[in-house]
Amino acid sequence: MAGHSKWSNIKHRKGAQDAKRGKLFMKLAREIFMAAKDGGGDPDTNPTLRLAIDKARTNNMPNDNIDRAIKKATGDLEGVNYEEYTYEGYGPGGVAVMVKVLTDNKNRTAADVRHAFNKNDGNLGENGCVSFMFNRQGYLVIDRNSADIDEESVMLEAIEAGAEEMETTDEQFEIFTEPEAFSDVKADLEESGYAFKSAEVTMIPETYTFLEEEGVEKMLKLIDMLEDNDDVQEVYHNLDADEEVLEKLS
């Protein structure tokens, strides 16, 4: 689907901003904490924890940070208790937005998320108001410029490993999987020598809402404000915009 590439361009912008703010490790630690709390501290028997650890390592998170998050979740170290919630609403121009949070104070976080929507021409909605527009999928990105990689070979190996589809841009190969197949596809491709620029299970929109420059600027301010919140783990949306506009505003 052509829409995947629209989503990934904005997604990559988001990832770069998270890293610049220096908050990425904290958010990854919370994700590991929740996975270990819900399913135990052994990644061999807890696939959700294994995915969270893989994501942390992809982002160069130190092993000590990973181990500490697991120990806090399993009671080996004292720590706060986080709960997971998802908020849904609409941004400027009717862009669908989902906000995944991990918080130790639901009232505070809900108020902060609502304030971000209200301040940026959006509105928080009821649970389920936009989630039907998104599909949970595995997403793997291989940088085609990092090595001499043949497109047909990557596609055949990805399909053989269990991937659903692959898209090619000038810069990269984007591989999509069912969530349950993500770990196996990733492991098989790693065994074949491929390295990933990005690898995660995420929410990808089925349709997109196109905005002109003024609306895009407002929408990006909403995303930035949400991501500045320490409790916010992920912001999913279906914004579509011209590449030139995104480059200018970035």
The domains of the chain, with CATH numbers, are 2-74 (1.10.10.200)
> For residue range 48-65, what is the model confidence (pLDDT) as tens digits?
999 899 888 888 888 988
Query: DSSP labels for 80-129?
Result: ---EEEEEEEE-GGG-EEEEEEEES-HHHHHHHHHHHHHHTT-EE--TTS
Question: What one-character DSSP code corresponds to residue 1?
Answer: -
90, β-bridge pairs: 96, 123
CA distances from 232 to 23, 123, 137, 178, 227 (A): 10, 17, 20, 25, 6
* pLDDT at residue 1, rounded to an integer: 39
The residue ranking higher by pLDDT, 198 or 32, is 32
Q: How far apart are CA 118 and CA 247, in angstroms?
A: 26
Average pLDDT taken over every residue of the chain: 87
Q: How far apart are CA 69 and CA 80, in angstroms?
A: 11
> For residue range 164-187, what is the model confidence (pLDDT) as tens digits?
999 988 888 999 999 999 989 999
Does 239 score more than 90 pLDDT?
Answer: yes
Top-ranked range on mean pLDDT: pick from 48-57, 123-132, 197-206? 123-132
* pLDDT at residue 14, rounded to an integer: 55
Reported confidence tier of residue 2, pLDDT bands at 50, 70, 90: very low
Query: DSSP labels for 43-88?
Result: TTT-HHHHHHHHHHHHTT--HHHHHHHHHHHHTSS-----EEEEEE
Structure token pair of residue 104: 């130790």
